[in-house]
Structure formats: structure tokens, C-alpha cells
Amino acid sequence: MNLDKLAWNADGLIPAIAQDFASGEVLMMAWMNREALQITLDEQVAVYYSRSRQSLWRKGETSGQTQQVHEVRTDCDRDTILLLVSQTGVACHTGRRSCFYRALDDQGEHALTEPLVDPATLYGAKA
Amino acid sequence: MNLDKLAWNADGLIPAIAQDFASGEVLMMAWMNREALQITLDEQVAVYYSRSRQSLWRKGETSGQTQQVHEVRTDCDRDTILLLVSQTGVACHTGRRSCFYRALDDQGEHALTEPLVDPATLYGAKA
């Protein structure tokens, strides 16, 4: 795959949506640079680029909550990636299955789901 | 809803994913500014911001392919929007239901679906 065909932004990044392969649930959105996408294609595990840490982010490397990639898609403008994944455990650092757990309306926001696991257990905090 | 709580980017925009409310299919990803999101919340129809035209983009205004919004969600970091929508017709300007119709692998890319409608009929071209 020639990754030059994709519409990388001015920072050399492209947004990547992760969707549960089985349920269709949208789990998260993160960013990839070329190296992250190439590794994702090569290894069939989701690798992103952390804008805050400015480094590759091998999803689940610390938490164990990895994403096995079934398919990598792009859209009509080739400026967004969609990953169909099997999520081990939970995608969200709050311990929820999906990061998209807040509903917005004119009144404000409210949580749609509660954490399935204690976030402290995901990142190696000692009991 | 106080939209200042959301993590708008340096251009005052936030990415918005549209997902089919019934099927779970991810239809498209586009961008919103505050005005677009406020109208979307108020009117329950998807309004985006066109970065190329630098103006509000009332989805379907020209093509008729509107999106009725059932729910507006945001994620843990409040830097992405997820819309659950009922899509009239097709989301993609190519005439496909979803913009994410290209699969990528090491060999290159290939289309997963064919257009359901002729794009020329979507944008008022004369026969």
C-alpha cells in the first residue's frame, strides 16, 4: 500500500476511528502517523500516534487492552481511517468499553455507561 | 449545553463521526465548528463545517441526503463527536451508503461497495 495516496494533515497525521468488528460499536477515535499505520497494516494490531506524548502508541501496551485489526478502511477523500477491531477488554482509559459514553443535549451532558473495570487496575497501580 | 467544555482544535473545529442509528454502520467523518454543533443540537439534523468552503454545511441541503440526529455523544477527552443518525439515502457523495468503502492492505486498496445511486443525480445535474 502506497501511503502517499492518503490525505495526511499538515502534522503528517490522519484520524483513525476504531469500531468493534462484531457489535459495530464505535470504540474510540485517535490519530496515526505513517509509521503507526504501516505497523497496523503489517501486524494487524492497532497502533496510533499520541499527539500529547509525540510518540507511537501501541494500544494496550501498558493496559493489555489491545485491538486486533480485522480490516483497515479509508473513506472517499482518503482523509480518515476506519479500523474494524476485536477489542480485548475495554477501549477507554476510564474503564468503559467505548470512549463515547457521554450524551450531549441542550441541558448538558450525562454518562450513558459506567466503567466495567477500575481504571487503576488497567495501568498497573498498586492496590 | 456549554460548548466551551469541548476540546475544540486550534481552528475552532472538532471531528464528528456519523453512525447509522439502526445498523451501526459508520457513514462518514466530517468537522464541526461551534455554530454547526449548536444547530445540530437545536434542530436534530446534522450540520457540519466545510473546511474547503469555509462555511456551514447543512448535510443534504443540495443532495437531499439529510441526517436526522437521534443522539449526540462525545468521548472521554471531549475532543470528538459521535452522531447517531437516520440517513436519508446515501451519506457519500460517490453515491455509496458509507464513505468508508475502501479496504487497505499491503497490496493496495480495493472498493468494498458500488454506488447505490448515480452521483450526478444527487447534485442536480441535468439528464
Q: Chain A: nearest CA to B112, how far in angstroms? A: 9
Residues of B with CB under 8 A from a CB of A: 1-2, 5, 15, 17, 19, 23-26, 28-29, 41-42, 71-78, 80-82, 92-94, 96, 99-109, 112
* pLDDT in the model for residue B106: 84
In whole angstroms, give the CA distance from residue A69 to residue A65. 13
* pLDDT in the model for residue B126: 46
Contacts of A2 in chain B (CB under 8 A): 108
In whole angstroms, give the CA distance from residue A43 to residue B125. 45
Extents of the domains making up chain B: 3-90
Among the ranges given (B34-43, B80-89, B115-124), the one the predictor scored with the smallest mean pLDDT: B115-124
* pLDDT greater than 90 at residue A12: yes
User: In this predicted model, what pLDDT tens digit does every residue of B51-97 receive, in sequence order?
Assistant: 999 999 999 999 999 999 999 999 999 999 999 999 999 999 999 99
* pLDDT greater than 90 at residue A125: no
Residue for cell digits 442509528? Answer: B21
Model-level pTM?
Answer: 0.96
* pLDDT greater than 60 at residue B37: yes
3-state SS of chain B? CCHHHCCCCCCCCEEEEEEECCCCCEEEEEEECHHHHHHHHHHCECEEEECCCCEEEECCCCCCCCEEEEEEEECCCCCCEEEEEEECCCCCCCCCCCCCCEEEECCEEEECCCCCCCHHHHCCCCC
* pLDDT in the model for residue A28: 98
Give the CA count within 13 Å in the CB-facing half-sphere of A94: 17
* pLDDT greater than 50 at residue A127: no
Task: Determine which helix (DSSP H) or strand (DSSP E) holds A119, and give its type and residue range.
Answer: helix A119-122
**Which CATH fold would you assign to the domain B3-90?**
Ubiquitin-like (UB roll) (3.10.20)
Name the residue among A101, A86, A89 with its Cα closest to residue A46: A86
Specify whether the backbone of B53 is left (phi greater than 0), alpha (psi in -120 to 50) or beta.
alpha
* pLDDT greater than 70 at residue B111: yes
Q: What is the mean pLDDT of residues A53-67?
A: 95
For residue B99, give the nearest of A76, A93, A107 by CB distance. A76
* pLDDT in the model for residue B125: 53
Name the residue among A79, A68, A30 with its Cα closest to residue A50: A30
Contacts of A107 in chain B (CB under 8 A): 1
For residue B106, give the nearest of A1, A5, A77 by CB distance. A1
Quick one: what percent of chain A has pLDDT higher than 70?
97
Q: Chain A: nearest CA to B127, how far in angstroms? A: 25
In whole angstroms, give the CA distance from residue A92 to residue A25. 13
Quick one: what percent of chain B has pLDDT higher than 70?
97
* pLDDT in the model for residue A107: 87
* pLDDT greater than 70 at residue A126: no
Residue for cell digits 477500575? Answer: A118
